[in-house]
Amino acid sequence: MDALDALHQRVSVPRLVGPAPTAEQRQAMYRAALRAPDHAYLRPWRFLVVEGDGLLALGELFGRAALAKTDGDLSEDVLTRYQGLPLRAPLLIVAICAHTEHPKVPAIEQDMACAAAVSNMLVAAHALGLGCVWRTGDLAYDPIVMQGLGLAPNEAIAAFLYVGHPAGELKRVPELDPQDFFVTWPPPQGSATRT
């Protein structure tokens, strides 16, 4: 698929099925991640690849976090739902932003670099004919989940990236008009400015 087509046509795919991406497809996604803009070459990211029994272990971790939030007052159905969250795809990539002290690269720029790496993987997955969806939610910020995944104090979860094959048709998203979002600045003399 042409690079511009992949960028213009990519959509999130929340309903995913197996098989998991091949080794070749994974390497293409990983290499795309590592080409993200990265001020001062800090490489402010690392990625955990979770599949198979790892998905079950992550589900157990999610369940422990949910139980802790409610002091154990959680119905069996809700607990089962938390435990099943990682099973929504055959492969899950946890993107972790690792902040480094740097005089010219504040933490927010490092977060954006990590987010760009995730975005590159989303586009690469689409170009490869895979489905992919970026999720975060409360569990991404939960201290039990962060500890269970081995995050250091300077690290944060940027994404749970679910990857597989689309289950059904890709959703249609509205075509956006670039003129609604891109304007010339400063405005030409005598033209109205957008408020």
pLDDT of residue 195: 56
Q: Is residue 152 part of a domain?
A: yes
pLDDT of residue 53: 98
Asked whether the predicted pLDDT for residue 192 surpasses 70, the reply is no
Q: Is residue 40 part of a domain?
A: yes
Digit-coded pLDDT (tens) for 32-48: 999 999 999 999 999 99
Say what the pTM is: 0.93
The tally of domains found in the chain comes to 1
The CATH number linked to 44 is 3.40.109.10
Please report, for residues 6, 58, 69, 149, 194, the alpha-carbon distance to residue 146 in angstroms, rounded to integers and kept in the order given: 32, 11, 14, 5, 43
Domain residues for the domain of 156 are 3-180
Asked whether the predicted pLDDT for residue 138 surpasses 70, the reply is yes
Q: Is residue 193 part of a domain?
A: no
Q: Is residue 176 part of a domain?
A: yes
Count other C-beta atoms under 10 Å from residue 128's C-beta. Answer: 19
Q: Is residue 185 part of a domain?
A: no
Q: Per-residue confidence at 172, pLDDT binned at 50, 70, 90?
A: confident
Average of per-residue pLDDT across 97-117: 96
